[in-house]
Structure 1
Amino acid sequence: MEAAGANGQAKTEQNQRSVIPGPTNPMVSPLLSDLYQFTMAYAYWKAGKHNERAVFDLYFRKNPFGGEYTIFAGLEECIRLIANFKFTEEEIAFIRATLPKTCEDGFYDYLRRIDCSDVEVYSISEGSVVFPKVPLLRVEGPVAVVQLLETPFLNLINYASLVATNASRHRFVAGKSKLLLEFGLRRAQGPDGAIGASKYSYIGGFDATSNVEAGRLFGIPIRGTHSHAFVSSFMSHDEIMEKSLQNRDGSSTCEDFFSLVRTWLSKLKWSHSLLGIFGETNQSELVAFTSYALAFPSDFLALVDTYDVMRSGIPNFCAVALALNDLGYKAVGIRLDSGDLAYLSCEARKFFCTIEKEFGVQDFGKTSITASNDLNEETLDALNKQGHEVDAFGIGTYLVTCYAQAALGCVFKLVEINNQPRIKLSEDISKVSIPCKKRCYRLYGKEGFPLVDIMTGENEPVPKVGERILCRHPFSESKRAYVVPQHVEELLKCFWPGNPDKKREELPPLKEIRNRCVQQLEQMRPDHMRRLNPTPYKVSVSARLYDFIHFLWLNEAPVGELQ
C-alpha cells in the first residue's frame, strides 16, 4: 500500500511538472487567426472531412538578411498555445456573429469540443541553426484543427526566428568578447513586439536588455543607466541635498562627496600628463554625475555626450570615478551616444590609461566603454575596420524592427492527408512543396562541421555513420553528391505527442536555448557564416524521395493541349 501511494504521489508530481502554462502574451488565443481558417474549418465540417488525418510542414524558403543561415525560435510559445487551446463561449459567440448566418449550429458545438489532444507536433529544437525547405515543425492531426493552428504558429515563429537571426548576425560581427545590450523597447512595433524582441535577441546572443518587463518574464539580465534629460535637469550643486557617502566597507563616511569630486577634477586639470586637454568643464554635468554616483555608488555608469565628450563628459566622469575609488568603489564606465564612436572611444581609453599610470589607480585604463546611437550590423563592421575601444554595444531600432528585412516568410503547407502525399505546384520552383511525411537529418563531416541537411521519406532507413548516401537537390537533376557522414543528427523531435502517455521533449529554459544557439553557430563552417557572399549550405533529399517528388509532380500537373 505504501509503495502504491508513493507511486501515485510520484505520478501526480510528474503530471504537475508537465503542466504547460499558457502563452506569454494573453493576446495569443484561438482567435489570433485569419478568417479563412474558420471558413475552411466550417467547410471541412460541412463536408464531413474535419477529422481526416492531415500532415502539414512549417518551413521558410530563403534565409534572411542576405545570409545563409537562420535561427529557429518561437517553438515554446507554439507549445504553450496548443497545450491550452480551447474556445470560450465568448469566442464562439464572436465566430457565430462573424460567419454567415447560414452556418449550422452543429459547427459551433464542434468548436466547443475542440482541443489539441489529437494533434502531434514534431519540431527542430528551438535555438537551432536551420535552413530553407527543411520543416521547422511537422504538425499532424485532424485537418480542421491543424488548419486553425496555421496562422498563430506562423505568427509566433516568423518574427521570433527573424529577430533571433538578426541578433546572431550582430553578435557575429561584434565578436565574442563584446557585451551586447538590447535597447529597442521604445522603437519596437508595440509592446508585444518589444517583449518578443528582448526574448529572441537574448536567444540570438545578446547579453542583456533594457526592458524591465522582459527581465521579469524571462529572467533576462537588465542593464541601463540614465538619459541626457537627467544630466541637463541639474543646474547647480545646491541641488545635491545629501552630499555624504559612506565608504564601501562601512568604516567611515565622506561628509562632502561633491567637494572630493571637485578636488579630483582640479588634480586632473593641472595634471602634467593631461595639461591642456580640457579647460572648464560643464559644472551642471558634474553635479548630475555626482548625484547619480551618490544614488548608485557601486553601479556608476555615466552618459558623457550631453555637452562635449572630451572637454567635459570624460573629465567630469573621471573626477567622480576617482572620488568613488577613494571610498572603495569602482565605477562601471561611460556610454557614448553620438559623434565619431571609433575616435571618441580611443581617446577616452587613452584618457583612462593616462590616469591609471599617473595616479596609480589599478585597472582604471580598463574602465568600460559602451556605445549606442542607431547602431546596426554595418556600423559594427565599420567600427571594427576603423579600430575602436568599445567594450559594449547598445543596439535598438535596427535590431528589434529587423530594419534590413521585414519578414522571414515562413509558410504552412499540406504534405499528406489520409496517408496520401500531397504536393503544391507552382511555376516558381522555389514555391513547390516537398510532399509526404518526412524525417530530417543533419550529416556532419570529418572536421565536425555540418555538411548537408537531408530529408527522407518517413519509412526510409536512417542514414548511418560511415555509409555513403546519395544526397540530391529536390528539384535540380544535376545537383547531387555522395556523403559519408561521421555523425548523424535527427532534427525533428516530438514536442507534443497528442497522447499524454507518449514521451515528449521537455521545453528547455531560455538560457539553455540561448546556449544551444551559441554552440550551433560555433559548429558552422566559417564560409557559411561570413557577411559577404557566404557559401550556400546544402539542403537535399534522398534519392528515393527525389524520385517520388518528381513522380507526383508529373502525376498532378495538368497536361497542356496545343491547338
Structure 2
Amino acid sequence: MAASAEELKCDTQALSDRVQPLLTDLYQFTMAYSYWKCGKANDSAVFEIFFRENPFGGEYALFAGLTDCLQFLSNFQYTQEDLDYLESVLPCTVEKDFFEYLKTVDASEVALRSVPEGSVVFARVPLIEVQGPLLVVQLLETTLLCLVNYASLVATNAARFRIAAGPDKKLIELGLRRAQGPDGGLSASRYSYIGGFDKTSNVLAGKLYGIPVTGTVAHSFISSFNSMVDVKPRTLKPATGDKVADLVSLCENLLPYVCHLLKVPLERLNQGELAAFISYAISFPKNFLVLVDTYNVMWSGVPNFCTVALALAKLGYQAVGIRLDSGDLAQQSVVIRRIFQTCSIEFQFPWFMSLSITVSNNINEKSLLQFNQQENSIDVIGVGTHLVTCPLQSSLGYVCKLVELNGSPRIKLTEDTNKITLPGRKTVYRLFDASGHCFLDLLALKDEPSLVVGQEVECQMLGKGEGSVRIVVSRVETMHQDYFREAKICSPLPSVMDVREYSQCSLLMLGEEHKRLSKPKPYKVAITEKLYRLLNNFKIANGSSHI
C-alpha cells in the first residue's frame, strides 16, 4: 500500500526542511567547479553506493533510507540564497558564470536504480546505482550517503533487537531523549519501526510516519503527589451507568484486603504513590498503566497498583498493566505475574492475571538474550539508548564510488585491499535454494545475458570464501529496480508500514544460520567470470596483485 497523499505531503515537507541541497561537503562544489571548468560537467557517469563490511559483527544489514533519497532528488535545486552563500565561501577565483550554471542544475537527467527499501543486503553488493551528468551526481553523493547510512544502521540494530527479544514480546522505541538531535530522534523512530519494533514514544514520528505511539507516566508524575489531599477530582463515572463513584474511598476500602492478600504491611505503602495512581486512573480509566518502582516495587508499587486496578475493575474498567524501570526485571516480572494471578482468583477477575508487564532500564542486545535464558513474565520491552545510538558500531560505512564514465568502466585500486572497487555497471542477482532461503548474491556486468533458471554459472567468491565455483540456478531474482528517472519517482512511494512488512518478509528469506547474533555463518557474495576478468585486467594494467 502506497503512502497516502497527506502522509507523503507531510513527510516531504519534513524532509525538505532538514535536507537541503547545501547539506553536503564543500569539496563536492570544488570538484564540481573543476568539472565545469575543464568541460567534464556533462560526462555520463555511473556511481554505486555500497558498504564494505556487515555491521555489528553480523552477516547482513537492512537497507533503509531510499524513500528520503527519492524525495531529495525530486526537490533538488539551488535557490538564489544558496548560490549567494556558495559564492561567499568558495575561492574568489571561481567565475561568476559557474553560479549562473548552478541555477540550472537539478536531477532531471539523473536516473536511480536500487534494491527495494527494507531489503536484507550484504557487504560489497551495490545497493544504489546513480546515473547522470558527472557534475550533478557528484553533488548528490554526500547527501545520499547521509540519508542511507544511519537509516540502515539503526534498522539493522532494531532487527537484531527483534531477533534477540523473540517473536512474542512487544518492543517499544523510547530513544528520543538520548538520540543525536531531533533529526536522529525522528530517524531512529522511523527506522527502528522498519527494523521490527512495534511502537514509539515519539509523537512527531507518529504524526509524520503513522507509527503507533504509546506512553504512560514518569517517576516525576508519581513523586509530585504527597497524599490523598492531592487527588482532585476524586470521582469517576463507571464504564456503564451514570452514577459516579468516589474512587479514593473505593481504593481505601480495598487497600486492607489487598495488603492482607499480598502479605504487605499497610504502613509500608507510600500514600503519595497511591494518590498518583488514583489520579492517573481517573484521567485514563481505560489506559491505566503506571511505573511501580518509584519507591519500592513489592512493598508499595505493586500493591498500590493492584488496589487501584481492582477498584477500576469494580467500576467496569480493565487496567492495562505496569512498567518496571529498575532492579532484576526478569525475576520481578515472575513475582508480579504470580501476584496478578492471586488477585485474579481472589477477586474473580479472570483478565487480571494477563495484565501487561512492561520493562525498561538501559536495555541492550545482551539484556534481551539474558531475558530469554531466565524465567520471566515480560510482555513489553522499552529500549532507548542502545537502540538509537548504536553504541556497538557508530557507522555502517556506506561509500559512493564511480564505476563507469562515458561508457568505460572505472575502478579504485589501492594498497588497502578492502577499498578496491569493482569496475563497471552491474546487475545484482539473488539466488535461492530449494527451501526458499537466499544463499548467494551474484554481481554481473550490465551487458551480460540475464540469468535463467537451470543455467549453470561459474563465478568467483568474494571475501573469505574466495575461489571459483559452479552453481546451477534454481530460483533467481534481479535486485535492482528503477526508482527515479526523468525528474520523476517511477512509482508511488510505499508507506512506512509497507517497508516494515517488506523488511520482515526479507528477513524470513535469510537462513537462521546467517541471522545468528553470535558467530553467524558467512553469506556468500560472488562475481561472474566476465567481471572477474575485467577486474584482473585493471590489476595487471596497474601493476596490482590484489582483489
Q: TM-score range by the shorter chain?
A: over 0.9
Q: 1:325 aligns with which of 306, 313, 318?
A: 313
CA displacement, residues 238-257 of structure 1 (integer Å, 9 cap, x when unaligned): 111211111112x1334311
**Higher mean displacement: 308-317 or 257-266:** 257-266
Identify the residue that residue 67 of structure 1 maps to in structure 2.
58
- 1:215-256 deviation per Cα after TM superposition (whole angstroms, max 9, x unaligned): 11111111110000000000111111211111112x133431
Distance 1:496 1:478, change over 3 A: closer
Query: Does structure 1 conserve the Cα–Cα contact (< 8 Å) formed by 2:264 and 2:299?
Result: no
Change in Cα spacing, 1:480 to 1:464, as seen in structure 2 (3 Å) is same
2:391 matches 1:403: yes
Q: Which residue of 2 aligns with 1:100?
A: 91
* Partner Cα separation in structure 2 for residue 344 and residue 201 of structure 1: 27
Q: Provide the rounded CA distance (Å) in 2 between the counterparts of 1:553 and 1:283.
A: 77
Which one-letter code corresponds to 1:418 in the other structure?
Answer: N
Q: State the shift of 1:370 in Å.
A: 0.4
2:258 pairs with one of 263, 268, 275: 268
Does 1:163 find its partner at 2:154?
Answer: yes
Instruction: Give me the whole-angstrom Cα distance separating, in 2, the residues matched to 1:97 and 1:141.
Output: 28
The Cα of 1:380 is off from its aligned counterpart by 0.7
Task: Determine the structure 1 residue equivalent to 2:69.
Answer: 78
Counterpart AA for 1:265 = L
Partner of 1:253: 243
- 5 Å-filtered alignment, 1:306-455, equals 306-455=294-443
Deviations 1:320-352 (A, max 9, x none): 111111111111110000001011111101100
Pair 405,527 (structure 1): closer, same or farther in 2 beyond 3 Å: same
The answer to whether the Cα contact below 8 Å between 1:118 and 1:142 also exists between their aligned partners in 2 is yes
Q: CA deviation at 1:109?
A: 1.0
The residue type equivalent to 2:525 in the other structure is: V
Q: Residue 279 of structure 2 corresponds to which residue in structure 1?
A: 291
Aligned to 2:186: 195
Question: How far did residue 484 of structure 1 move?
Answer: 2.3
2:167 is matched with which residue? Answer: 176
Cα distance, 1:475 vs structure 2:
7.0
| Inter-partner Cα distance in structure 1 for 2:252 and 2:467 | 73
Structure 2 distance, partners of 1:30, 1:133, is 28
Instruction: Judge conservation of contact 1:25–1:192 (CA < 8 Å) in 2.
Output: no
Percent sequence identity is 46
Report if aligned partners of 1:20, 1:80 keep a CA contact under 8 Å in 2: no
Change (3 A) 1:20 1:168: closer
Paired position in structure 1 for 2:506: 520
* Structure 1 contact 423–553 (Cα < 8 Å) conserved: no
Determine whether 1:487 maps to 2:475: yes
Match of 2:428, SS? strand
SS in 2 for 1:520: helix
Please state whether the residue corresponding to 2:139 is helix, strand or coil: helix
Residue 276 of structure 1: how far off its partner (Å)? 5.2
| C-alpha displacement of 1:314 | 0.6
Cα distance in structure 2, aligned partners of 1:419 and 1:443: 28
**One-letter amino acid matched to 2:515:** M
Alpha-carbon displacement from aligned partner over 1:149-202 (angstroms, at most 9, x marks no partner): 000001111000000000110001101111110000100011110011000011
User: For 1:258 and 1:18, how far apart are their aligned partners in 2?
Assistant: 48
Distance in 2 between residues matched to 1:558 and 1:185, nearest whole Å: 48
> Does structure 2 retain, via aligned residues, the 8 Å contact 1:123–1:138?
yes
Q: Is the 8 A contact 2:11 2:208 kept in 1?
A: no
Q: Aligned with 1:48: secondary structure? A: coil
- Counterpart of 1:371, as a letter, is V
Query: 8 Å contact 1:122–1:139 — kept in the other structure?
Result: yes
Alpha-carbon distance between aligned partners in 2 of 1:78 and 1:481, rounded to the nearest angstrom: 36
The answer as to whether partners of 1:23 and 1:80 remain within 8 angstroms in 2 is no
CA RMSD after TM alignment: 1.9
Residues 1:144 and 2:135 are matched in the alignment:
yes
Residue 210 of structure 2 is matched in structure 1 by 219
- Aligned residue number for residue 35 of structure 2: 44
Cα contact 1:445–1:484 (8 A) shared by 2: no
Distance 1:51 1:397, change over 3 A: same
SS at 2:55 equivalent: coil
Measured after TM superposition, the shift of residue 136 of structure 1 is: 1.2
In the alignment, the residues of structure 2 paired with residue 358 and residue 515 of structure 1 have an alpha-carbon distance, to the nearest angstrom, of 42
Deviates more, 1:276-285 or 1:212-221: 276-285
Bigger drift between 520-529 and 256-265 goes to 256-265
Q: Match of 1:313, SS? A: helix
User: Which letter does structure 2 place at the counterpart of 1:312?
Assistant: S
Matched residue SS, 1:456? strand
Measured after TM superposition, the shift of residue 485 of structure 1 is 2.9
Name 1:555's counterpart in structure 2: 541
Cα offset for 1:379?
A: 0.7
> 2:153 and 2:483 mapped to 1: Cα distance?
22
How far 1:443 sits from its partner (Å)?
A: 0.4
Which structure 2 segments of 5+ residues have no match? none
1:294-319: per-residue Cα shift (whole Å, max 9, x none)? Answer: 00000000100000001110111011
Shift of 1:471: 2.8
CA distance in 2, matches of 1:262, 1:344: 26
> Is the Cα–Cα contact under 8 Å of residues 482 and 490 in structure 2 kept in the other structure?
yes
Alignment-mate amino acid for residue 423 of structure 1: I
Q: Using a 3 Å threshold, how does the CA distance of structure 1 residues 239 and 477 change in structure 2: closer, same or farther?
A: closer
Write the distance in 2 (CA, Å) between the matches of 1:239 and 1:279. 19
**TM-score, normalising length from structure 1?**
0.93
- Secondary structure in 2 aligned to 1:470? strand
Q: 1:23 to 1:473 in 2, by over 3 A?
A: farther
The equivalent residue for 2:104 is: 113
Amino acid at match of 2:167: K
Q: Residues 161 and 365 of structure 2 are in contact (CA less than 8 Å); yes or no, is this contact kept in structure 1?
A: yes
Q: For residues 245 and 499 of structure 1, what CA distance do their matches in structure 2 show?
A: 59
The CA distance in 1 between the partners of 2:493 and 2:460, in whole Å, is 33
Distance 1:453 1:94 in 2: 45
In the TM superposition, 1:496-507 aligns within 5 A as 496-498=484-486, 504-507=490-493
CA distance in 1, matches of 2:125, 2:421: 11
Task: Pick which of 511-520 and 22-31 moved more.
Answer: 22-31
Deviation at 1:211, TM superposition (A): 0.7
AA paired with 1:297?
A: P
Instruction: Determine the structure 1 residue equivalent to 2:120.
Output: 129
* Counterpart-to-counterpart distance in 1, 2:319 and 2:435: 45
In 2, Cα distance between equivalents of 1:288 and 1:543: 71
Please tell me whether residue 543 in structure 1 is matched to residue 533 in structure 2.
Answer: no
SS in 1 for 2:469: strand
C-alpha displacement of 1:504: 2.2
Q: Which amino acid aligns with 1:28?
A: V
Give the structure, 1 or 2, with the largest relative contact order (CA under 8 Å, sep 6 or more).
2
Change (3 A) 1:213 1:497: same
The TM-score, its normalising length taken from structure 2, stands at: 0.95
Gap change, CA 1:57 and 1:322, over 3 Å in 2: same
Q: 1:49 to 1:531 in 2, by over 3 A?
A: same
Match of 1:4 in 2: none
Structure 1 residue 477: Cα displacement: 9.2
Kept in 1: contact 2:10–2:208 (CA 8 A): no
| Alignment match of 1:469 (pick from 457, 460, 467) | 457
Determine whether 1:532 maps to 2:518: yes
- CA distance in 2 between counterparts of 1:480 and 1:527 reads 23
Q: Partners of 1:27 and 1:269 in 2: how far apart? A: 55
